[in-house]
Structure 1
Amino acid sequence: MSQVDNDKPVSSILSHLNITQKNQKEKTDNSLGQTAFLELMIAQMNHQDPLSPQDNTEFVAQLAQFSSVEGLERLNKNFEGFTNNFMSNQALQASSLVGTSVSVETDTTKLMEGGIVSGSALLESSTGGVAINIYNDKGSLVAQVPAGDQPRGEMVFRWDGQNMEVNGKLLKWRAEQPMPAGDYRFEVMGNQNGEQQQMQTALSANVNSVTMGADGKLTLNLAGIGAVNIADVKQFN
């Protein structure tokens, strides 16, 4: 597997891809190719029975088979070239993600030093008495932010460790002192249909590194969250 981070240049990823592709090619060199098929057909013609030579129909059939083998060989080479280019592009894209922020469905993330946690909660209906509860890595409640009544849809919030902004508006609530950098869990609660319910949340996280599998799939290693498939990313911030 290949991992892209701040200490590993893209060239090393591409070199790894070239080595992998070379090994794969060496494993398939034993297959019957165009040259081997032609040599086999010529050897067959040289050793045929002169009293019972190969008829024209059979010879034409072998020529057609030879053309098919040649066409398949060209198709395989073209496909290998396409795969090589695709994986190289994936490696370049992976390197550009390191150090950026993405949003995924989770309730836990890391507040970076001087950073901001962006989050969202999906409200299936108008919700009253919304509160955003924040817990530290020891499970202690460090902030309970009242967000009031919120309409149906996606509620977006931003937290810098002291101030909370909801749907683009800075709340009057403010923590007595800024929270230190570290891992935090977010819990969005609200009244829906007369019941207190917890809402599904998505949070931002910093991309520490990117791992590329042999199949070309990318896995993002996120601060405070861990490994996440790139297909599960909700938003690139």
Structure 2
Amino acid sequence: MSVTDSTSGPSLKDILANSSKKTTATSNDGLAAAANSKTGKNELGKDAFLQLLVTQLKNQNPLDPQDNSAFVAQLAQFSSLEGITTLNTSVNNISSAFGSSQALQASSLVGRSVIVQAGSAYVDTSKSMTGSVVVPVSVASSTVTITDKDGKAVKTIDLGSQPQGNASFVWDGTNTAGEKVEPGTYSFKASAPIDDKPVDLITYLPATVNSVTVSQTGGEMMLNLANMGTIALSKVQTIGL
């Protein structure tokens, strides 16, 4: 008695055909999913990159698998992409914080008195004004000559001998005759003999901050001084009350 197997099974040809169809469908599905995973700006994001990488691994040729060096290179590219994205976010946050800090600084400086390097200043002669002179080396004598807007000498202050450093001077708003002069813009010229030659010295004078200009591009903050124009914050020597 013979037994005959009547069950009909798939042929090798059918198996290979079905496998090819399944692989193609899987590949298309993975690519479609990756294509649909966008950042909203029609460009590939990190999620789409990972989906493309996984799809590539799923559909690699078993007889010729993905080269290890190429795989590592793709992972390195993904790490670089992630790092650049994080760095951009951090830089944007720092930029925003810097802008807020500048705005806060600006609001606190308006109305304050500052000491800046200048040759002239607006002086309210009803009260005394204090300035300073930079003395590069020790000198036996030094003077500060004050002139009005017309170039007429109003008063000369004798500072005497001074060591190297900063020398302060006070003007009470009077002329040589001891009379009060009108408020206005006055020039201050300091000089001292160095090596038997008269040398002009740098003067620092007070000014009031009227307003502040904050850069929109991350540049330096500029102070708008009363009757003295504009000066960078880095040029300010002292900020007073």
Query: CA contact under 8 A between 1:221 and 1:227: conserved in structure 2?
Result: yes
Q: Which residue of 2 aligns with 1:157?
A: 169
Gap regions ≥5 residues in structure 1: 1-28, 163-172
Q: 1:89 aligns with which of 101, 115, 128?
A: 101
Deviations 1:171-209 (A, max 9, x none): xx9752222221111011333333333222121211111
TM-score by length of 2: 0.67
Q: 1:182 aligns with which of 167, 184, 189?
A: 184
Distance 2:118 2:61 in 1: 78
Q: Which residue of 2 aligns with 1:135?
A: 147
Q: Does 1:195 align with 2:197?
A: yes
Quickly say closer, same or farther: Cα 1:45–1:144, change in 2 above 3 A: same
Deviations 1:36-94 (A, max 9, x none): 5446657x749x78798862634454344223312321222122112211221121012
Distance 2:226 2:43 in 1: 46
Richer in strand (by share)? 1
Gap regions ≥5 residues in structure 2: 1-40
- Greater RCO (CA < 8 Å, at least 6 residues apart): 1
TM-score by length of 1: 0.68
Q: Does 1:55 align with 2:66?
A: yes
Which has the greater radius of gyration? Answer: 2
Quickly say closer, same or farther: Cα 1:203–1:36, change in 2 above 3 A: farther
Query: CA contact under 8 A between 1:123 and 1:151: conserved in structure 2?
Result: yes
Letter of the 1:117 partner, please give it: M
Quickly say closer, same or farther: Cα 1:75–1:196, change in 2 above 3 A: closer
Q: 1:104 aligns with which of 107, 111, 116?
A: 116
Query: CA contact under 8 A between 1:90 and 1:216: conserved in structure 2?
Result: no
Distance 2:65 2:229 in 1: 67
Distance 1:201 1:31 in 2: 59
Query: Aligned pairs, how many?
Result: 198
Quickly say closer, same or farther: Cα 1:74–1:175, change in 2 above 3 A: farther
Quickly say closer, same or farther: Cα 1:75–1:92, change in 2 above 3 A: same
Q: Give percent identity, aligned residues only.
A: 35
Distance 2:127 2:47 in 1: 62
Distance 2:188 2:230 in 1: 19
Q: 1:233 aligns with which of 219, 231, 236?
A: 236
* RMSD, matched Cα: 3.1
